[in-house]
């Protein structure tokens, strides 16, 4: 006799949570991007997820002109999103006085809406197909199965994260990024350029975001303008739940949201799941405002 909870077996839950965690890797990356830019600038870049998806759209656009193998599309998405990240830095941060954090924040909201409009206009608002890899593979153990494409999404996101951590902790550029984030005056005294470091951080964060954008398209099978806001919100929640400024926090937060939303999708349907994600955010803000790895207090 199988044990059932709310009409679903434990295996159903296990399957749902694993699928959610695999897809949650994309939220983790978006969360890392938010956290990383918050770390160096002490400001939120709300356009971040939009640049990630704009990168994916860019590679889709190239793909409509010349047929692209999926891996090439992903690389193009990453490069384009890195470029968009740099543009966001120039338009929303570089020339806005550092003492006006609200101005930068609102500028990034404007950028988010602008990119969204751009996407709607260039696709007539219609969802567009996006190539996946290994979507014909299914790994099966009895009744439990893993989708090959989701597994690939997860692995590529892990690789992107490892790459980022390598840059941050093993290169001079990463040292400058951390130094500027922690103590900008001392960083300059050591010969580091604050603006140079910040702009490079936007490019690198953008580039790994482009991978996440492409992976979102690949795992859903389509790119849609309706993705921008939910991905922004979930990436942001991943960063907040993990503790703004903490990369491990964003990773845990992203995977948690993936599992959480998929579970509520199973229990309550796709139309309701995002409400529960919001409730998760409220619960964290009420009971653990610093997040799981709470370092945000340092930025007070």
Q: Which residues bind other proteins (CB under 8 A)?
A: 172, 175-176, 178-179, 182-183, 185-193, 298
Residue closer to other proteins (CB basis): 188 or 199: 188
Helix orientation angle between 247-268 and 228-242, rounded to the nearest 10 degrees: 120
Give the CA radius of gyration of the chain.
19
How far is it, in rounded angstroms, from Cα 176 to Cα 11?
47
Residue 172 beta carbon to other proteins: minimum distance, rounded to whole angstroms: 7
Residue 298 beta carbon to other proteins: minimum distance, rounded to whole angstroms: 8
Residue 181 beta carbon to other proteins: minimum distance, rounded to whole angstroms: 8
Residue 176 beta carbon to other proteins: minimum distance, rounded to whole angstroms: 7
Q: Could you tell me which residues come within 8 angstroms of residue 179 by beta carbon, excluding any fewer than 6 positions away?
A: 186, 187, 190, 192
Helical (H) or strand (E) element with 138: strand 138-141
Residue closer to other proteins (CB basis): 123 or 199: 199
Residue closer to other proteins (CB basis): 175 or 222: 175
In whole angstroms, how far apart are CA 187 and each of 94, 202, 298? 18, 18, 18
Residue 193 beta carbon to other proteins: minimum distance, rounded to whole angstroms: 6
Per DSSP, the three-state class of 67 is coil
Residue closer to other proteins (CB basis): 186 or 270: 186
Residue 60 beta carbon to other proteins: minimum distance, rounded to whole angstroms: 39
Strand partners of residue 147 = 138
Q: Which residues of 267-276 are buried (b: 16+ CB within 10 A; e: fewer)?
A: beeeeebbeb
Residue closer to other proteins (CB basis): 103 or 178: 178
Residue 244 beta carbon to other proteins: minimum distance, rounded to whole angstroms: 14
Residue closer to other proteins (CB basis): 64 or 183: 183
Backbone angles phi, psi at 45, to 5 degrees: -110, 90
Residue 173 beta carbon to other proteins: minimum distance, rounded to whole angstroms: 11
How far is it, in rounded angstroms, from Cα 131 to Cα 54?
16
Backbone angles phi, psi at 244, to 5 degrees: -55, 130
How far is it, in rounded angstroms, from Cα 296 to Cα 284?
14
Residue closer to other proteins (CB basis): 159 or 190: 190
How far is it, in rounded angstroms, from Cα 276 to Cα 295?
25
Residue closer to other proteins (CB basis): 98 or 182: 182
């Amino acid at each position: 006799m199988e044990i059932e909870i709310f009409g679903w077996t434990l295996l159903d839950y296990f399957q749902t949570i694993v699928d959610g965690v695999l897809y949650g890797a994309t939220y983790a990356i978006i969360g890392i991007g938010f956290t990383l830019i918050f770390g160096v600038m002490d400001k939120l870049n709300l356009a971040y997820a939009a640049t990630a998806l704009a990168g994916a759209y860019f590679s889709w656009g190239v793909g409509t002109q010349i047929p692209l193998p999926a891996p090439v599309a992903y690389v193009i998405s990453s490069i384009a999103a890195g470029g968009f990240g740099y543009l966001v830095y120039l338009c929303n941060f570089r020339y806005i006085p550092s003492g006006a954090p609200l101005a930068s924040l609102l500028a990034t909201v404007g950028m988010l809406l602008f990119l969204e409009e751009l996407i709607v206009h260039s696709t007539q608002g219609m969802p567009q197909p996006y190539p996946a890899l290994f979507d014909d593979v299914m790994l099966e153990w009895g009744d439990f199965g893993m989708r090959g494409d989701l597994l690939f999404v997860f692995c590529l996101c892990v690789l992107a994260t490892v790459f980022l951590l390598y840059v941050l902790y093993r290169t001079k550029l990463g040292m400058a990024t951390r130094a500027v984030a922690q103590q900008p005056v001392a960083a300059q005294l050591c010969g580091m350029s604050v603006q140079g470091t910040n702009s490079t951080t936007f490019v690198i964060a953008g580039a790994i975001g482009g991978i996440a954008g492409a992976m979102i398209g690949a795992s859903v099978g389509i790119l849609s303008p309706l993705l921008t806001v939910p991905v922004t919100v979930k990436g942001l929640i991943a960063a907040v739940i993990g503790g703004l400024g903490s990369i491990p926090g964003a990773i845990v937060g992203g995977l948690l949201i993936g599992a959480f939303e998929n579970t509520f999708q199973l229990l309550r349907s796709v139309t309701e799941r995002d409400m529960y994600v919001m409730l998760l955010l409220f619960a964290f803000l009420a009971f653990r405002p610093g997040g799981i790895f709470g370092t945000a207090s340092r930025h007070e």
